[in-house]
Amino acid sequence: MAAIDSTRLLMELRSLALEAKRPPSLGEIGAGGASGAGQADFATLLKNSLNQVNEMQQNATDLGTAFEQGKPGVDITRVMVEAQKAQLAFRAMTEVRNRLVSAYQEVMNMTI
């Protein structure tokens, strides 16, 4: 499992937020807003992020269980750090979800 540190996660979220605030260029508007060949679409990014958060939570749970069972090589510090990483990632995904719902509601309330 690939673990993501909290600093990298925050940097990625900030870069995505900056990219979302950037107005589309004329080329993107003409192409229907489609992203370039090297870029993933939003749904794929969201799905991958959810999968990573899920893996982090499962890893933290597995480490906690291993510590409780007294397995060698698993210390409380590592368990707590992994649990905090998983909690931070979950909070970040919750915030993304809240912002998406808010943006959706704002668009739906626009008058045409």
Is residue 3 within 8 Å of residue 56, measured between CB atoms? Answer: yes
Classify the C-alpha dihedral 70-75-78-84 as positive or negative. positive
How much is the pLDDT for 29?
45
* Domain contains 11: no
How much is the pLDDT for 10?
72
d(CA 4, CA 49): 11
Whole-number average pLDDT of the chain: 80
Provide the residue range defining the domain that includes 78.
39-112
d(CA 53, CA 92): 9
How much is the pLDDT for 1?
42
* Domain contains 102: yes
Number of folded domains in the chain? Answer: 1
Higher per-residue confidence, 30 vs 39? 39
Is residue 57 within 8 Å of residue 38, measured between CB atoms? Answer: no
* Domain contains 16: no
State how far Cα 50 lies from the chain centre.
6
